[in-house]
Chain A
Amino acid sequence: MRRIDTSAVIPVIRQLCIEACQQLSSNVTDALRDARAREESPLCQEILAMLLENAAFASENHLACCQDTGMTVVLLEIGQEVCWEGMPLYDAVNEGVRQGYRDGYLRKSVVDDPLLRKNTGDNTPAMIHVDIVPGDKVTITILPKGAGSENMSALYMLTPADGVQGVKKAVLEAVERAGGKPCPPIVVGIGLGGTMDKAAFLSKKALLREIGARNPKPHLAALEQELLEEINKTGIGALGMGGTVTALDVHIEAFSTHIACLPLAINLQCHAYRHACATI
């Protein structure tokens, strides 16, 4: 048993929020550079060059690379040998978010009630997901999720008869409907299987994978590749201005499902492909 005081997560989360919002990883900037090289539209090439310049400028000057610093999605992978002490864990997580958004001069984009809509002023509450895993470590991942791309997400309760064709059709439909709104070039996170809620969570989790990394299962890896090629034939281009690079990647996460079900969740992610991770 490893005892950890919950307050230990506060400075870690504070730092991860700031880091995720200010620094795009080299994985992302490399993908954008590659996109610029492949892009056929001169206007989109210019936009991609601006995005790269922006990423460099943001990281040098400790500024958020995008003003929509999102709702803060926090994934906690907690080793089952960890015993927590101190304040409630969720309060500590929210305190870390509060400090990160305050000290990093990040935007406070959360309203308290979906209908009454008063800004909470500190970007809390965070969207907290917990996974219990073997061991005595705690891995914390922060994903600041902007609304431009989140709003373009979709959920389809397909049937087994729809099969892989139904999946392809729905994904292309969601991407085309979104057009320039989710700030392409996008990463498409796909959750396949499980129940409705499981598929939705998997589609978000799919956005944590490095650009260029494939699902280990060959049939899913092939589907990712095929969808990526098809999406890049839509002509949407960077910010929807018309071009040949609409997506940087497609990531599928799948899970077992019911004999009657084929849930498909699609979570779109803009070019500000931000996340940061630490283990304590």
Chain B
Amino acid sequence: MKVTLPLTREVLESVQIGDVLELTGDIYTARDAAHARLYEAICKGEKLPLDLKGKIIFYCGPCPAGPGRVIGPLGPTTSARMDPYMEAMFQQGMVAAIGKGDRAPYVAELCKKYKGLYLLGVGGAAALCANAVKEVEEIAYPDLGTESIKRYYVEDFKVIVGIDTQGRTIQEENIPKYRKR
């Protein structure tokens, strides 16, 4: 299903686990170190370097761009490390996060409570993912290198709904279907 960003309430609440979405629009990278800084700023009540309202955060640290490319290979990193920051990010207005792997059970509850999504990128398909990124702008924390906050304008960027706004998770529903032990 093709989706133009920003995500509307209607799309957010209608998609379900397992749906494959092709995103076109702006998404913003932040992973371990950027989350730690954002969280510290939130706790201190400081102004954040970007307004998170309506935004999608992509847990990602790219490779550097080779000649003639806007960005190097990139893809989702393991989301569970960002679990402790999830509620604060939702409270700031983030509507969805893109990463890989399952998360703590409380993240499903948070998706339900804040009507947000957890989207799964295709971990390890980094050369293809980079191809979907058409424009890159560094937004904050350049000293963090690969971990700085960047805006990516993406076209048809493939993600799979991992947790929907009803708090259903793909792992919980799909793995038992294929389990044979």
By the criterion CB–CB under 8 Å, are A67 and B100 in contact? no
Per-residue interface assignment for chain B, residues 108 to 129, with 1 indicating a CB less than 8 Å from any chain A CB and 0 otherwise = 0000000000001011111110
A62 to B18, CA, bound (A): 32
Tally A residues with Cβ within 8 Å of B. 51
Segment 234-252 of A: residues with Cβ below 8 Å from B? 234-237, 239-244
Min CB–CB distance A117 → chain B (angstroms): 7
Segment 135-189 of A: residues with Cβ below 8 Å from B? 147-148, 151, 179-183
By the criterion CB–CB under 8 Å, are B102 and A240 in contact? yes
By the criterion CB–CB under 8 Å, are A240 and B175 in contact? yes
A119 to B158, CA, bound (A): 30
Per-residue interface assignment for chain A, residues 92 to 134, with 1 indicating a CB less than 8 Å from any chain B CB and 0 otherwise = 0000000000000111110000000101010000000000000
By the criterion CB–CB under 8 Å, are B77 and A235 in contact? no
Min CB–CB distance A48 → chain B (angstroms): 10
List of B residues within 8 angstroms of A237 by Cβ? 174-175, 178
Would you call A4 an interface residue if the criterion is a C-beta within 8 Å of the partner chain's C-beta atoms? no
By the criterion CB–CB under 8 Å, are B64 and A179 in contact? no
By the criterion CB–CB under 8 Å, are B124 and A271 in contact? yes
Would you call B47 an interface residue if the criterion is a C-beta within 8 Å of the partner chain's C-beta atoms? no
List of B residues within 8 angstroms of A61 by Cβ? 127
List of B residues within 8 angstroms of A43 by Cβ? 18, 20, 160, 174
Stretch at the interface among A52-60, A80-88, A196-204, A205-213: A52-60
Min CB–CB distance A25 → chain B (angstroms): 15
Q: Which residue, A106, A121, A182, A241, has most C-beta atoms of chain B within 10 A?
A: A241
By the criterion CB–CB under 8 Å, are B178 and A51 in contact? no
Name the residue on B nearest A53 (C-beta): B128
Would you call B34 an interface residue if the criterion is a C-beta within 8 Å of the partner chain's C-beta atoms? no
Would you call A190 an interface residue if the criterion is a C-beta within 8 Å of the partner chain's C-beta atoms? no
Contact pick for B100, options A64, A234, A239, CB 8 Å: A239
Tally B residues with Cβ within 8 Å of A. 47
A271 to B123, CA, bound (A): 9
Evaluate whether A105 and B102 lie within 8 angstroms (CB atoms) in the complex, with A183-B123, A233-B179 already known.
Answer: no
By the criterion CB–CB under 8 Å, are A105 and B63 in contact? yes
By the criterion CB–CB under 8 Å, are B102 and A63 in contact? no
List of A residues within 8 angstroms of B77 by Cβ? 68, 147-148
A268 to B100, CA, bound (A): 16
Per-residue interface assignment for chain B, residues 150 to 176, with 1 indicating a CB less than 8 Å from any chain A CB and 0 otherwise = 000000001010000000001101111
A contact set with B: CB distance below 8 Å? 40-41, 43, 46-47, 50-51, 53-54, 57-58, 61-69, 105-109, 117, 119, 121, 147-148, 151, 179-183, 230, 233-237, 239-244, 270-272
Q: Which 6 pairs show the lowest CB-CB distances between chains A and B?
A: A242-B174, A235-B179, A181-B101, A58-B127, A235-B178, A233-B180
* 26 residue pairs bridging A and B, Cβ less than 8 Å apart: A40-B178, A41-B177, A41-B178, A43-B160, A43-B174, A51-B125, A54-B124, A63-B73, A63-B127, A64-B63, A65-B127, A67-B60, A67-B61, A67-B126, A105-B64, A107-B62, A109-B61, A121-B145, A181-B101, A233-B179, A233-B181, A234-B181, A239-B101, A241-B174, A243-B178, A244-B180
Task: Given A69-B63, A242-B171, output 16 extra A-B contacts at Cβ < 8 Å.
Answer: A47-B122, A53-B128, A58-B73, A58-B127, A64-B73, A65-B124, A66-B124, A67-B60, A109-B61, A147-B78, A179-B175, A180-B123, A183-B124, A235-B175, A242-B176, A270-B124
